[in-house]
Chains A and B, each alone.
Chain A
Amino acid sequence: MGLYSEEITNISEKSNEKLFEFAVVDEKKAEETGYSNYSYWRSTWKSFLKNRLAVFLLILVCTIVAFVIIQPYLPYQKSPTEIYIDEQTSSQARNIAPNSEFWFGTNSIGQDLWSRIWAGTRTSLFIGFVVALVEVIVGITIGALWGFSRKLETPITQAYNIVENIPTTIVLILMSYILRPSISTIIIAMCITGWVEMARFIRNQIVILRDREYNLASKCLGTPSYRIILKNLLPYLISVIMLRMSLAIPFAIGAEVFLTYIGLGLPISEPSLGNLINEGRVLMMSPDLRYQLIFPSIVLSIITISFYIIGNAFADAADPKNHV
């Protein structure tokens, strides 16, 4: 026990008589000591900021989005659809390698690739955002009903099994027959098939959450289901939903490339990353023209990779476990 005795001897000298009076205890003050200034969102944001790469990419993506929006209004910009005529030959300025006039060169009919790529990015991002948004909204609505309402569970599950097993291609192709190829067609086609996964995901999350005690508490207070979903469940899902959404954007862009590949994409007169890449694929085999594939591919990859990494970084940051 020798451990403790040393301390005692040398303490008593330090002690001052006056200090040995009772202090006044303030109960109110005692209540407050436990206050921690932890805020979920602030912590999430802080922990997100720690991921340098993600922050950089976030800035990059924001810059790209901003740039894509203002690009047409900048000086020296060309039209993405106009066919430029070579002064000398007075025919189309075809396949011109990048130069000071055409920064990213021209394509096989003399359109300016620089502006086409940004117009395409604009289109693709627009599609991506809209699809992601619709998917999220529809997916959440159906997923929430599916997960929360015990009555709807079986019918929706059955419907899911069916929808899930109808090959997507059939639906996509049918859509393109019924509607003309256009941005809205492609959006509709992707939304029709895209919400399913989202709904299932939300449903799984809600099933995990729905039996938590705080929901029971709300039920006991007579809170209507819609408010339970809105106030009790969705706030918990917001981080995963945002993750999903950020992943839905690259996915939608990838899907657009695929649709274009099987011939259901946007018309060529409507530049998009999908048809730029598809056009470019043929040129893969010609070293001199490869830039026509490489530029859009790089832009596309930057965007998709950024969203992917940002999404994941956000999901990590949103996980309270990682609020370290």
Chain B
Amino acid sequence: ACSEKGDESSGKVSEYRTVYSGEIKTLNYLKTAEANEFAMSANIIDGLIEYNQYGIVQPSLAESWSSNEDNTVWTFKLREDVKWVTSDGKEYADVVAQDFVDGLNYVLDAKNESSTAWIATVVKNGDAFYNGEITDFSQVGVKAVDEYTLEYTLENPTPYFLSMLNYVCFFPVNGEFLAEKGESFGTTKENVLYNGAYVLDKFEPQNERVLVKNDTYWDKENVFIDRIRYKYNKEAGTVAPELFLRGEVDSASIPTSVIDEWFNDEEKKAQVRQSQNNFYTYFYALNFDPQFDAQYEPENWKVAVNNKNFRKSLYHALDRVSAMLTTEPYNPEDMLNNTITPKNFVDVEGVDYTQLEPLKNVTNTDSFNKDLALEFKEKAMTELQGKATFPVKVLMPYNSGSPDWANRSQVVEQQLETLLGADYIDIIVEAGPSTGFLQEVRRPGKYALLEANWGPDYADPASYTDPFTEGGTYNKPELAEGYTESNGKSKYQNMVDAAKAEMDLAKRYELFAQAEAFLIEEAFVIPYAVGGTGYIASKLNPFEAQYSPFGVTLEKFKGQKVLEKPMSNEEYKEALAKWEQERAEALAEAGEQ
């Protein structure tokens, strides 16, 4: 709705207000890797491409592009007449090919400490330049062929290169401006230039930020919200629902703990809905390299975890619905995920990756199966007789900074112990540090069973299979006994390597799917859920927004309108079904082209 205070004469100014508690630390999009900051750059800077609401690549600053045979050289033809403007709306310069070169140069310069540099190393000599082995940037695989022609040369064949372009590291920057601002680039609203849908009108960290529509934007017809107001509130989680009800904000996430209240109240119920899932996937990792304290018997765990039946018993015993109830009490099934790679990630001609043959079975069956669990338990107990002591102590830490996780851990503990019996396992829930959890717990392997998550970086299944390969920092499945193949590598590793080598998309995806299915069927990990922000009350229609798992796409306001009233969950579900169908059609159509 329009602002009620609106004394703007037209009364037609569309404003969207929200409170947030996660502050952004910089506007320097070339440096950041944080979601909150992506959300900012998504709306003020445009990259070469964008997506439509079904996740199909669309031209943005690049009007057209082409790649060579093996996908190593990509050429982009830029849109002309796109302007850099300052925060007060003054035109500063045109956006040209060199701006992309300058951007990448900045990112790959190690001293700038860009957090997304590792993605940009996909270009030729990117890594070498970053590590200082090459000092001449012209040897790096990016080139302004002319003012409006840009060419990337890549290190390896990369069919999914386009999906990477929506990352901030491939965003343009005006070199002159950047040089002028130096260190202070991106520290204030004046110290950045804008070429996106919005311009920052106010930027006061820990207070308020205001985005206003960019009048010089090349695609301003598709920008419908005129002003976006973010008010900082550290206790947003506590006060936002009330603020929404009082009409002080247009969007508020509704914490799980109060969701009952909203659903029990007719009036409120009409205003709250599920939010979209994101592409983070959650899974329980069984650690093959336990390094925890002797009191929790890491050796015993090691013996147990190397027994497939033991793993399988856990795999089938985990009641994921009951665990999910702690975060999503109303539609827990909607959040569950039977694979590591979530659905809607990539597809082969409209067939979703998770429905590919090797994964299909896994995807479509619930892993929770009491009978199987008990069956495997029996087997494991006989096999492990004399080798392992029962009950097996299972150290399951959680991050004490996350109340939901804490709750979930208690639920899972109780559920598993009840089902499998206290004679079999003894789950020990332990609070880990709220900051430095990764460093303190996951990376050093101080756990037996751990809820972990992972998010993708580019449109290739490799993005999801990598964490479990050698050098990964998860549960080290390569150390599992009995899976080493003749080349000395683990079976899983070999499967992934093979997939990566395959350039034909259909075959490639098939191979990746096989690897993933192997990982799950061997119960090295127990897939659990996809990420999501739970319930929200919002006057936005999520299906109008651009859609894609990669980069900053999901954060764009472009194309969205502020609704008169928030969607209810029924409306949402309806819209979701419609959208999924339309998307499948659109993907199939796009695939045919």
Contact = CB atoms under 8 A, between A and B. Distances in A.
Nearest to A279: B403
B257 interface: yes
B406 A269 contact: yes
Interface string A77-97: 000011100000001101100
B410 A83 contact: yes
A92 B325 contact: yes
Contacts of B551: none
Interface stretch (A3-11, A52-60, A285-293, A314-322): A285-293
B433 interface: yes
Given A180-B431, A263-B434, A285-B242, A109 B411 contact: yes
Nearest to B257: A108
A285 B433 contact: no
Contact of B431 (A82, A181, A281, A287): A181
A267 interface: yes
Interface string B365-406: 000000000000000000000000000000000101101001
Nearest to B403: A268
B264 interface: yes
B22 to A, nearest CB: 14
Interface stretch (B233-241, B343-351, B506-514): B233-241
B502 interface: no
Chain B contact patch, size range: 35 or more
Contacts of B414: 82-83
B435 A279 contact: no
Nearest to A79: B414
Contact of B435 (A83, A108, A177): A177
Nearest to B412: A83
B264 A288 contact: yes
A286 B411 CA distance: 24
Contacts of A83: 410-411, 414
A83 B400 CA distance: 19
Given A94-B325, A109-B410, A285-B238, A263 B401 contact: yes
B98 interface: no
A294 interface: no
Interface in A37-64: none
Interface string B420-461: 000000000111111110000000000000000000000000
B432 A180 contact: yes
Contacts of A181: 400, 431, 433-434
A187 to B, nearest CB: 15
A279 B257 CA distance: 9
A75 to B, nearest CB: 23
Contacts of A264: 434
A230 interface: no
B238 A284 contact: yes
A152 interface: no
A133 interface: no
Given A94-B325, A263-B434, A288-B264, A282 B258 contact: yes
Give the one of A82, A83, A94, A180 with max B CB within 10 A. Answer: A83
Contacts of B255: 282
A109 B414 CA distance: 12
B338 interface: no
Chain A contact patch, size range: 20 to 34
A91 B319 CA distance: 11
Contacts of B329: 91, 94
A267 B431 CA distance: 6
B238 A268 contact: no
Contacts of B433: 176-177, 180-181
Contacts of B325: 91-92, 94, 109
A125 to B, nearest CB: 21
B429 A289 contact: no
A260 B428 CA distance: 22
Contact of B410 (A269, A282, A285): A269
B322 to A, nearest CB: 6
A269 B414 CA distance: 12
A182 interface: yes
A180 B428 CA distance: 15
A192 interface: no
A172 interface: no
Contacts of A176: 433-434
Interface of A: 81-83, 91-92, 94-95, 107-109, 111, 176-177, 180-182, 263-264, 266-270, 279, 281-289
21 contacts: A81-B410, A91-B325, A92-B326, A109-B325, A177-B433, A177-B436, A180-B430, A180-B431, A267-B398, A267-B406, A268-B406, A269-B409, A269-B429, A270-B431, A281-B238, A283-B257, A284-B238, A286-B258, A286-B261, A286-B262, A289-B261
- What 6 pairs between A and B have smallest CB-CB spacing? A267-B431, A286-B261, A268-B406, A108-B257, A285-B242, A286-B258
Given A267-B431, A285-B239, A285-B258, 20 more contacts: A91-B329, A92-B322, A92-B325, A92-B411, A95-B257, A111-B410, A177-B435, A180-B431, A263-B400, A263-B401, A266-B431, A268-B406, A269-B429, A269-B431, A279-B257, A282-B238, A287-B261, A288-B264, A289-B260, A289-B261
